[in-house]
Amino acid sequence: MDWDTLKAECLACRRCELCTDRTHVVFGQGVQTAEVLFVGEGPGQSEDEQGLPFVGRSGQLLDKYLFAIDLDRSKNCYIANIVKCRPPQNRDPLPTESEACMPWLREQFKLLQPKIVVCLGRIASQRMIRTDFSVTKEHGTFVQKNGVWFMGTFHPAALLRQGGLDIPQDIASYDALLAAVLRAKGIVAASEGEWIHFDYTPGEINIRRGSAGVTGRLCVISHELHEDAVAGLFR
Ligand code: URA
């Protein structure tokens, strides 16, 4: 099946009850040559209205993290969800709804053939990595399944909800992700010594790349960290 056929079929899906209240099916967004696939839980209100994944507040936060590590949905990654229609009141998708919807994600996965899959939040992590996956305990660690590296981390909406954005915890996940991406591309040491700036004031974070010496919360990408985080990856 090609992308156009898959998308057309998916947009007409009536495999579960979530189809009755949807405004749009949120198929996914990104480039078809992406090496990194992000998987969220399911569309919220903004996503349902616009037909695109992660376009609300949590999506804006996600985009900032992605920017910090040179990922961009319009250039080099793909974003999808476990369920493609919005659950009422943003409740967790029911197991039956996830089951009904997963074949679409599997087809996307087959077409994309990503090297790295990042699961955003518990629902995606437990569905894609392990049913007892703990985001709190295991975020940022990579496991390999059939030659593809999987990582689970906090859902950006959870970080927003916490109010006290848990930046240090998530720095580790995205740092590990950057390391894995660099490793996938065969460039590990290229960014050694490069700094990522996480400037944090309550309710807002700004992340940008830059050189050392600028104020803000800094996370240095060190060669050691790469080696540690991605030991054995892509060798
Ligand atoms: N939360 C998700 O899990 N997915 C989206 O697309 C938006 C918010």
Per-residue pLDDT of the chain (235 residues; tens, 9 = 90+): 999 999 999 999 999 999 999 999 999 999 999 999 999 999 999 999 999 999 998 898 888 778 767 788 999 899 999 999 999 999 999 999 999 999 999 999 999 999 999 999 999 999 999 999 999 899 888 899 998 999 999 898 887 776 544 444 566 677 667 666 766 665 443 344 555 555 544 445 555 555 443 333 334 444 333 333 333 322 2
Q: Based on DSSP, count helices (H) and strands (E) in the chain, helices before strands.
A: 9, 9
d(CA 162, CA 217): 19
This prediction has a pTM of 0.82
Q: What is the pLDDT of residue 191?
A: 46
Distance 43 CA to ligand 1 centre (A): 5
The answer, yes or no, to whether any atom of ligand 1 lies below 6 A from the CB of 44, is yes
Residue pair 26/43 in contact (Cβ under 8 Å)? The answer is yes
Pocket test for ligand 1, best of 155, 159, 161 (most atoms within 8 A of CB): 155
Å from CA of 38 to ligand 1 middle: 10
Distance 193 CA to ligand 1 centre (A): 33
Measured CA to CA, the distance from residue 50 to residue 23 in angstroms comes to: 8
Best probe residue, ligand 1, of 25, 37, 47 (max atoms within 8 Å of C-beta)? 47
* Å from CA of 26 to ligand 1 middle: 10
Dist CA 1 CA 221 (whole Å): 40
47 contact partners, CB below 8 Å, separation of at least 6: 24, 26, 53, 54, 55, 56, 59, 86
Minimum CA distance residue for ligand 1 atom 7: 54
Based on the number of CB atoms within 10 Å of its own CB, is 209 exposed (0-12), middle (13-18) or buried (19 or more)?
middle
Cα 53 to middle of ligand 1, angstroms: 6
The pLDDT value given to residue 24: 98
CA distance 37 to 76: 9
Helix (H) or strand (E) run with residue 79 in it: strand 77-81
pLDDT for the residue 171: 64
Backbone angles phi, psi at 141, to 5 degrees: -95, 140
225 CB-near residues (< 8 Å, 6+ apart): 175, 179
> Residues 153, 173: contact at Cβ < 8 Å?
yes
